[in-house]
Amino acid sequence: MNLVTIAGTEANIQCLSRLTELSGGQVEQVKPSEMAEDFANILSQKAIATKVEAKVKLHKGLQFRNELESDLSEQRTILTRRFGNVTTDSMFTFEYGMKPISELLLMEDLDMATITQFPFQTQITYTALNGDKCMRVITHKLEVSTERDQLTSQADAEMIQQNALMQGSKQARAGNTRKA
């Protein structure tokens, strides 16, 4: 469900944006003075797929951070997100980190000191515009590194910025304005 609101009105954005997030939609706010232009921009973004769902799987020594518990499974190593319709501008971000040492120590078959790569897998299911049901699987391995300069140079600034905006928006909708 996508939501279009008019700036300055008293819509209950906090509740409505939560519904939009759960249904995989987006919130767009238009200004009355720029309504024609804003609506034209919104409508010009054509969907490239519908009923989109992404499932991201992490290595068992890692876990997702700052995600809704209802979207997580397998000890916080699988994240499932539903998006509804997506356009070429749609972006999906998430955060992850190491599991707490106390949990890692309980995993007898895992020696984190010997790991040189972490595998990631994303399974995307969607309905193509012609009605075909499709699945795309993307698998990638990231090298383990302790070199901060190397990691910083490889960081995608646009992706980090988009994630910060999404996380701030999620916190604000939850009423955590200080954390947002």
Residue-wise pLDDT for 6-18, tens only, equals 666 655 656 666 6
Residues 167, 107: Cα–Cα separation, whole Å = 30
Domain 47-144 in CATH 2.60.40.1670 = yes
Specify the 3-state DSSP secondary structure of 49. Answer: strand
More confident residue, 124 or 68: 124
The more confident residue out of 149 and 7 is: 149
Higher pLDDT, 33 or 110: 110
Would you place residue 66 in the very low, low, confident or very high pLDDT band (cuts 50, 70, 90)?
confident
What pLDDT band is residue 4 in, cutting at 50, 70 and 90? low
5 and 30 in contact (C-beta within 8 Å)? Answer: yes
Measured distance CA(3)–CA(75) in Å, rounded:
33
> 1-13 burial, b if ≥16 CB within 10 A, otherwise e?
eebebeeeeebeb
Q: What is the pLDDT of residue 178?
A: 79
Least confident of 30-34, 79-83, 108-112, 169-173: 30-34
Domain positions in the chain are 1-44, 47-144
Q: Report the alpha-carbon distance of residue 48 to residue 102 in Å, rounded.
A: 44
pLDDT over threshold 60, residue 42: no
pTM above 0.75, yes or no: no
pLDDT interval class at 157 (50, 70, 90): confident
Q: How many CA atoms lie within 13 A of 145 on its CB side?
A: 11
**Statement: residue 24 has pLDDT above 60:** no
More confident residue, 114 or 32: 114
Express each pLDDT in 109-134 by its tens digit.
888 889 999 999 999 999 999 999 99
DSSP-derived 3-state class of residue 156: coil
- Please report which confidence band the pLDDT of residue 171 belongs to, taking 50, 70 and 90 as the band edges: confident
| pLDDT computed for residue 31 by the predictor | 66
Token pair recorded at residue 29: 């706010």
